[in-house]
């Protein structure tokens, strides 16, 4: 587990990422998948610092057990809805469920779609393009869950209302195909 450092001590972060990468490979995930996941994980932790409004609350953790690798990126910040609504382009978003749908689409960012930002979650989807996984995004009073092979909004997903929660929690769980084949 790593507490995010808003001051940016990159050496500790890179050491932590190296441990997470080694654990994912040791758990049985293919190196290509792990490389994509680590890139996405880096983007997601940067999002905590850039968008949450409370980067000091950021937390990143992973677990690797018996062919399964899971990571969590969480913060107790302003949440996805409030962050997106900082830009007039997204002022009409009705609730946290709609905000989560927008946030997982390429190019969505509180900086606006013309900013060239908002591709971190898309990187996660591209990393999982040929693999089975479950992704869970929880912010405000909603959760967005995607699962299956190549999880995305064009595949299997559900949005559900939940109790209010500050910030954003992203959970990603991948299982080695080798484990599923035996």
Q: How far apart are CA 48 and CA 2, in angstroms?
A: 13
At residue 25, φ and ψ (nearest 5 deg) are -65, -45
Q: Report pLDDT digits (tens) over 29-39.
A: 999 899 988 98
Residues 3-23: what's their mean pLDDT? 81
Domain interval for residue 140: 2-181
pLDDT of 181 above 50: no
CATH number of the domain enclosing 6: 3.30.565.10
Number of domains in the chain: 1
Residues 101-115: what's their mean pLDDT? 72
Element holding 64 (H helix, E strand): strand 59-65
Q: Report pLDDT digits (tens) over 118-172.
A: 555 766 777 776 678 899 999 999 999 998 887 777 778 899 999 999 999 999 9
Convert 37-60 to b/e letters by CB count within 10 Å (16 or more is b): bbbbbbbbbebbbebbbebebbbb
The pTM assigned to this predicted structure is 0.86
Which one of 90-104, 106-120, 145-159 scores highest in mean pLDDT? 90-104
Decide: 146 and 152 in contact? Cβ < 8 Å: yes
pLDDT of 5 above 80: no
Q: Residue for token digits 């990126």? A: 73
């Amino acid at each position: 587990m790593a507490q995010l450092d808003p001051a940016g001590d990159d050496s500790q972060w890179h050491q932590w990422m190296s441990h997470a990468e080694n654990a994912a490979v040791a758990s049985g995930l293919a190196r290509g998948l792990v490389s994509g996941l680590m890139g996405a994980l880096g983007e997601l932790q940067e999002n905590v610092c850039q968008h949450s409004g409370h980067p000091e609350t950021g937390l990143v953790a992973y677990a690797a057990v018996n062919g399964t690798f899971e990571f969590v990126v969480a913060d107790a910040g302003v949440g996805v809805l409030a962050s997106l609504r900082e830009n007039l382009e997204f002022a009409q978003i009705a609730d946290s469920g709609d905000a989560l749908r927008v946030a997982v689409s390429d190019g969505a960012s509180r900086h606006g779609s013309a900013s060239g930002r908002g591709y971190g979650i898309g990187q996660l989807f591209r990393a999982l393009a040929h693999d089975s996984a479950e992704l869970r995004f929880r912010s405000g009073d909603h959760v967005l869950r995607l699962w299956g092979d190549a999880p995305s909004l064009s595949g299997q997903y559900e949005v559900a209302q939940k109790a209010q929660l500050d910030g954003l929690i992203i959970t990603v769980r991948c299982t080695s195909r080798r484990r599923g084949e035996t």
